[in-house]
Chain A
Amino acid sequence: GESVGLHLPTLSVQEGDNSIINCAYSNSASDYFIWYKQESGKGPQFIIDIRSNMDKRQGQRVTVLLNKTVKHLSLQIAATQPGDSAVYFCADSKGFQKLVFGTGTRLLVSP
Chain B
Amino acid sequence: NAGVMQNPRHLVRRRGQEARLRCSPMKGHSHVYWYRQLPEEGLKFMVYLQKENIIDESGMPKERFSAEFPKEGPSILRIQQVVRGDSAAYFCASSPWTDQDIQYFGAGTRLSVL
Contact = CB atoms under 8 A, between A and B. Distances in A.
What's the interface size class on A, roughly?
20 to 34
A97 B44 contact: no
A46 B106 CA distance: 11
Contact of A98 (B59, B104, B105): B59
Given A100-B45, A101-B44, A44 B91 contact: yes
B55 A97 contact: yes
Max chain A Cβ within 10 angstroms of own Cβ: one of B56, B59, B101: B101
Nearest to A94: B101
Contacts of A99: 33, 35, 43, 45, 93, 103
Q: Which of A4, A41, A99 has the most CB of B within 10 A?
A: A99
Nearest to B45: A98
B107 A97 contact: no
Interface residues of B, number: 28
A103 B105 contact: no
B42 A104 contact: yes
A104 B43 CA distance: 9
B91 to A, nearest CB: 5
A32 B93 CA distance: 17
A43 B106 contact: yes
B89 to A, nearest CB: 9
Contacts of B91: 43-44
Given A99-B45, A100-B45, A102-B42, A46 B104 contact: yes
5 contacts: A42-B108, A43-B6, A43-B105, A46-B102, A104-B42
Interface of A: 4, 32, 34, 36, 41-46, 49, 89, 91, 93, 95-104
